[in-house]
Amino acid sequence: MRISDTAIERLRAAAEFPDLSGTRYRLMDKLGQGGMGAVYRVEDSVLERQIALKVINILDDQNQLAARLLQEARVIARLEHPGIVPVHDVGTLPDGRVFYTMKLVQGRRLDDPETALGGESECLRSFLKICEAVAFAHAHDIVHRDLKPSNIMIGPFGEVLVMDWGLAKVLGSSHHRDNAGPDDAVVGTPGFMAPEQERGDSHVGPLADVYSLGTILKFLLKQRAAEPVSRRLTAIVRKATEAASAARYASVQELASDITQYLQGGAVAAFPEGPGARAWRWIVKNRAWILLILAYLVTRTLFILWRRFS
Amino acid sequence: MNKVWLGLALGGILGIFDGLTAWFTPAARAQLLGIVIGSTVKGLIAGVLIGYFARKVNSLPLGILFGLSVGLILAFAVAAMPNPEGKHYYFEIMLPGGIVGTIVGYATQRFGAGTDLATR
């Protein structure tokens, strides 16, 4: 029997859009497709709000992906931070697929060409917010392992959200539980993951996220190609993306601290300066003071000389 | 240190310094103590006013403008005081006075704790 194209389209649509009957959610539209699942916009009929629902939509006969999705939801649920999308609910669809719901993020991804990044200071402040979220995760023994511009969302009011914790790793606890997530073969995205991740090292830790943050910073600075990047900022990127993890910043907080120092015109750890350079930087930072005091001294001196010689 | 105390301290220090520069004018050396005291009091009054303004208005341009205005007005008041020689050195007193007021205005806007109102 030959199946018509219309029937094939209907079957494809049925596979693409999950059956949410029996749940409190009503399907609205599809937002995106990831490696193992798709994200949909749904309406919560109880709370009467729109949220996002993530569900596996590829074959998972050994339930491995279901376990991963559940682990992802649990990881995000542990991280209550303004920079991390909150999880609302976890459940099972009538067809047995696991899903979880989360806050619907209205915004643009960092790698979207239409994302307005603003000037250098604004870019760096947005980057600091990413660092805050990642540092929070590290403080809860969670390493993201897939930080990249497409996993960062910028909201309409400038809020920054770190998304897609599907490859996150829970670090060793007192029970040496060193990952309840995906297989440690090679996880991450080429171009943004640390060398130790590319090699498939078994003990990938927070320093891998430091490397990825460095690549995100490099990406942000490249987006503003028309403006030259200062040597101090270049040194910060270089230190964060050192191939040897021991040569990088020891933590995300250290990286964030150097960025903050840079924004305030202070000394950055990644760029050692001689006395002359430090003095010049101090002068530039306090130039308003210096010019005012110089103006006063020059004025006073001129008046004294004028009175003396007139 | 809050903005009023900062203004007071800075205005007083700059006032002392401003008064001491009269030493470079031989004719004024005899009255140096009075000049320093007067200049210090002027600096303290200006500092308190400018610091109080900075506490109420968080705006660098307005703070500088207010400081300049207060510095000029108080310096004018000093320059206009009767002088045994009958001369008034408005320009020589008001210009440095205005700059001192500007310095205090800038400092109290940039530094010091405590702002009562939102930023403009």
| Candidates A288, A300, A308; nearest CB to B96 | A300
pLDDT at A178: 38
The C-alpha of A208 sits at a distance from chain B's nearest C-alpha, in angstroms, of: 39
| Nearest residue on chain B to A302, alpha-carbon basis | B92
Pick the residue of B14, B17, B95, B106 with the most A CBs within 10 A to test the interface with A by mutation: B95
The C-alpha of A167 sits at a distance from chain B's nearest C-alpha, in angstroms, of: 43
- Sequence letter at residue A66: A
Give the count of domains, chain B: 1
The β-bridge relationship of strands A152-154 and A160-162 is antiparallel
This complex has an ipTM of 0.72
Query: Are the beta carbons of A87 and A102 closer than 8 angstroms?
Result: yes
The C-alpha of A279 sits at a distance from chain B's nearest C-alpha, in angstroms, of: 21
**A245 or B81: which carries more pLDDT confidence?**
A245
Q: How far is CA A211 from the centre of its chain?
A: 12
pLDDT at B23: 84
Exposed e or buried b for every residue in A138-158, given b needs 16+ CB within 10 A?
beebbbbbbbbbebbbbeeee
pLDDT at A181: 45
| Nearest residue on chain B to A303, alpha-carbon basis | B92
pLDDT at A173: 47
Question: Would you list the domain boundaries of chain A?
Answer: 18-103, 108-263, 275-309
Active site residues of A: 146
**A288 or B83: which carries more pLDDT confidence?**
A288
pLDDT at A2: 73
| Nearest residue on chain A to B99, alpha-carbon basis | A296
Query: Are the beta carbons of A80 and A88 closer than 8 angstroms?
Result: no
The C-alpha of B26 sits at a distance from chain A's nearest C-alpha, in angstroms, of: 9
Q: How far is CA B57 from the centre of its chain?
A: 18
Whether the CB of B111 is below 8 Å from some CB of chain A: the reply is no
Which token pair is A90?
């976890």
Q: Which helix (H) or strand (E) holds B106?
A: helix B90-110
Give the strands of the sheet with A108-109, arranged side by side.
Answer: A108-109, A152-154, A160-162
- Helix ranges (H only) for B2-89 are 3-20, 32-56, 60-79
Q: Is residue B15 assigned to a domain?
A: yes
Residues in chain A closer than 8 A to B107 (CB atoms):
289
B25-54 pLDDT, tens digit each: 777 788 888 888 988 999 999 999 999 999
- Domain A18-103 fold is Phosphorylase Kinase; domain 1 (3.30.200)
Whether the CB of B95 is below 8 Å from some CB of chain A: the reply is yes
Q: Which helix (H) or strand (E) holds B100?
A: helix B90-110
Which token pair is B61?
């341009």
pLDDT at A158: 87
Q: Write the Ramachandran bin of A164: left for phi over 0, alpha for psi from -120 to 50, otherwise beta.
A: left
| Nearest residue on chain B to A299, alpha-carbon basis | B96
3-state secondary structure of B119: strand
**Block residue for tokens 């030959």:** A2
Give the count of beta carbons closer than 10 Å to the beta carbon of residue A87. 21
Distance from C-alpha of A69 to C-alpha of A83, rounded to nearest angstrom: 20
Q: How far is CA B112 from the centre of its chain?
A: 17
Which token pair is A69?
């999705």
Sequence-separated contacts (24+) of B24-31 with Cβ below 8 Å? B24/A304, B24/A308, B25/A304, B25/A307, B25/A308
- Domain A108-263 fold is Transferase(Phosphotransferase); domain 1 (1.10.510)
Distance from C-alpha of A219 to C-alpha of A230, rounded to nearest angstrom: 15
pLDDT at A244: 95
Is-above-0.95 flag for pTM?
no
pLDDT at A161: 94
Residues in chain A closer than 8 A to B18 (CB atoms):
300
Q: Is residue B117 assigned to a domain?
A: no
Q: Which of residues 1-20 of B touch A (CB under 8 A)?
A: 18
3-state secondary structure of B69: helix
A292/B99 CB distance under 8 A: yes
Q: Is residue B115 assigned to a domain?
A: no
Distance from C-alpha of A200 to C-alpha of A182, rounded to nearest angstrom: 12
Residues in chain A closer than 8 A to B92 (CB atoms):
303, 307
Q: Is residue B35 assigned to a domain?
A: yes
DSSP chain A: -PPPHHHHHHHHHHHHS---TTSSEEEEEEEEE-SSEEEEEEEETTTTEEEEEEEE-S--TTSHHHHHHHHHHHHHHH---TTBPPEEEEEE-TTS-EEEEEEPP-SEETT-TT----SHHHHHHHHHHHHHHHHHHHHTTEE-S---GGGEEE-TTS-EEE---TT-EEPP-TT----SSS-SSS-S-TTTS-HHHHHT-S---HHHHHHHHHHHHHHHHHHTTTSPPPHHHHHHHHHHT-SSGGGS-SSHHHHHHHHHHHHTT---TTS---HHHHHHHHHHHTHHHHHHHHHHHHHHHHHHHHHHH-
Reference B96, options A29, A182, A307; nearest CA is A307
Q: What domain range includes position B61?
A: 3-110
Distance from C-alpha of B49 to C-alpha of B27, rounded to nearest angstrom: 32
Residues in chain A closer than 8 A to B24 (CB atoms):
304, 308
Would you give per-residue pLDDT tens digits along chain A (310 residues)?
677 787 777 666 666 788 888 899 999 999 888 767 889 999 999 999 999 999 987 666 667 788 888 888 998 999 999 999 999 999 998 888 889 999 998 888 998 888 877 888 999 999 999 999 999 999 999 999 999 999 999 988 889 999 989 889 888 743 333 344 444 567 788 999 999 999 988 788 999 999 999 999 999 998 876 678 899 999 999 999 999 999 999 999 999 999 999 999 889 999 999 999 889 988 988 888 888 888 888 888 888 787 777 7
A to B CB pairs, distance under 8 Å: 30
